[in-house]
């Protein structure tokens, strides 16, 4: 596996609470991404980052924010979790080589 660590791996939270997921890489890759995976949808891009403090929205960004204060860390925050955000979240990294590499995923359940 590429050096990508997601934390936590599993989380159950209540509706309305803020939640932060962390993606940590040891590869010094410039690009980082957050995707969510839901049955019938494949993976969908939430937010991505071109570098430190340089982020942009993906196709399903509503209700999410991100921050990247260091090359190695990309944080995804659910500002006020809703049941529709129950999903598996994957972080991915790329250094400009053809493919991106994915982390192990975080399973988030909002009750």
Positions in the binding site for other proteins (CB under 8 A): 1, 31, 33, 35, 40-45, 48, 50, 58-59, 90, 92, 94, 96, 98-105
**Rounded to an integer, what is the distance from CA 84 to the centroid of its chain?**
16
CA distance 104 to 4: 8
Name the minimum Å distance from CB 16 to other proteins. Answer: 28
Task: Give whichever of 14 and 59 is closer to other proteins, judged by the CB atom.
Answer: 59
Task: Give whichever of 12 and 16 is closer to other proteins, judged by the CB atom.
Answer: 12
């Amino acid at each position: 596996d590429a050096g990508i660590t997601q934390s936590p791996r599993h989380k159950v939270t209540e509706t309305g609470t803020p939640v932060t997921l962390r993606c940590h890489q040891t590869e010094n890759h410039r690009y980082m991404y957050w995707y969510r995976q839901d049955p019938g949808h494949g993976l969908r891009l939430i937010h991505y980052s071109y570098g430190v403090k340089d982020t942009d929205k993906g196709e399903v960004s509503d209700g999410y924010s991100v921050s990247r204060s260091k090359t190695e860390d990309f944080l995804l925050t659910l500002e006020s979790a809703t049941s529709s955000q129950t999903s598996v979240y994957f972080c991915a990294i790329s250094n400009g080589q053809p493919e991106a590499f994915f982390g192990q995923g975080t399973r988030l359940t909002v009750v």
